[in-house]
Amino acid sequence: MSEFPNLSRRGFLNRTAAVGGLLTVPGLLAACSKTAGADGESSSLEQLKKQGYVRVAYANEAPYGYEEGGQLKGEAPTLHREIFKALGIGELRPTFSEWDGLIPGLQAGKYDVISAGMAIVPERCEKALFSEPEFISPTALLVKRGNPRKLTDLASAKKAGASIGVMAGAVEKTYATAAGIAEDDLKTLQKPQDGADAVKSGRIDAFLLTSISLNWLAKNNSGLEVTDPFVPELDGVKQYSPGGAVFREGQEELRDAFNGELKKITADAGRYVRLIGEYGFGKETIPPANLRTADLCKA
């Protein structure tokens, strides 16, 4: 068993421009239509090589995977582009999905891979195949500048009776509930920017997400700041928030080939940072070699 059991979460990190990993996507909106990949075409490795592209889903969450100016940017698309290129597949064709629709869309065959920095947690492992971890990240709170409620973590939020925003379908709600935050004090939001807007307007006291995602929001929204990162716990186990790519069940060959190339990147800190450092990832976010998806998927 890994020394990092049940590390969990969702996705994360970044800045505005991506270095050498931007995916120019002509006709991005058309590619993201309902018909993109809805025919359930094969996503075996050999088939993808023959067709020359892989269909990927993103949730438009910076800095994990998002569209800007006709380009697909973020940690996951940039990293995945590098990996699939090494596998002989030169193009990513994107499909947008709301966060809680990502796995259902994958199961329905609308795309081949989820490129959204999704957290590796047991409930999701029952529905899809995860790659080995691409990153780890601690958690934090986004608050108004000056932190008027003096929040530092979930325990302090509970003590203060603070209202906390969480993303729909994301693992942070589980963290908040486990810490004793009352259901009435939790507000579910659809997008990270919704969380920032809710904090700015005073509708919530804080927005709970990974620290690097929140740093991105604070950089792009005046009047906000991010608390020092902390590591939440579930049943006494620290949650370090590893995330990865997601594949449909039955695509073990594709997942394993992906893992082979991913390992080459995570074993080379310089290459890892060159690829996704622009999005706020660094040596500290490289998953430990003994952090394995097989352990993370155990209930």
Q: pLDDT tens digits for 10-35?
A: 433 322 222 233 444 434 433 433 33
Residue 113, amino acid: V
Distances in Å between the Cα of 105 and the Cα atoms of 56, 110, 169 are 11, 5, 14
| 28 lies in the same domain as 99 | yes
| 131 lies in the same domain as 247 | yes
151 forms beta bridges with: none
What pLDDT is recorded for position 193?
95
| 158 lies in the same domain as 195 | yes
Segment 237-258 shows an average pLDDT of: 93
The answer to whether residue 10 sits within a structural domain is: no
- β-strands 91-96, 53-58: how paired? parallel
Domain boundary among 218, 238, 258: 238
Question: Residues 127, 107: contact at Cβ < 8 Å?
Answer: yes
Backbone torsion region of residue 14, taken as left when φ is above 0, otherwise alpha when ψ lies between -120 and 50, otherwise beta: left
Angle 167-62-92 (CA atoms, 0-180°, nearest 5)? 115
| 132 lies in the same domain as 151 | no
41-70 pLDDT, tens digit per residue, is 556 899 999 999 999 999 998 889 999 999
Domain boundary among 223, 238, 253: 238
Picking from 204, 205, 199, 203, the residue whose alpha carbon sits closest to that of residue 222 is 199
- Whole-structure pTM over 0.75, yes or no? no
| 36 lies in the same domain as 132 | yes
CA 161 remoteness from chain centre: 28
Calpha distance 112→58 (Å, rounded): 12
| 220 lies in the same domain as 132 | no
CA atoms within 13 A on the CB side of 180: 9
Question: Residues 138, 14: contact at Cβ < 8 Å?
Answer: no
User: Is the alpha carbon torsion for 251, 252, 254, 259 positive or negative?
Assistant: positive
| CATH at residue 81 | 3.40.190.10
Which residue has better confidence, 78 or 17? 78
Q: Which residues form the domain of 214?
A: 139-238
The answer to whether residue 18 sits within a structural domain is: no
The answer to whether residue 8 sits within a structural domain is: no
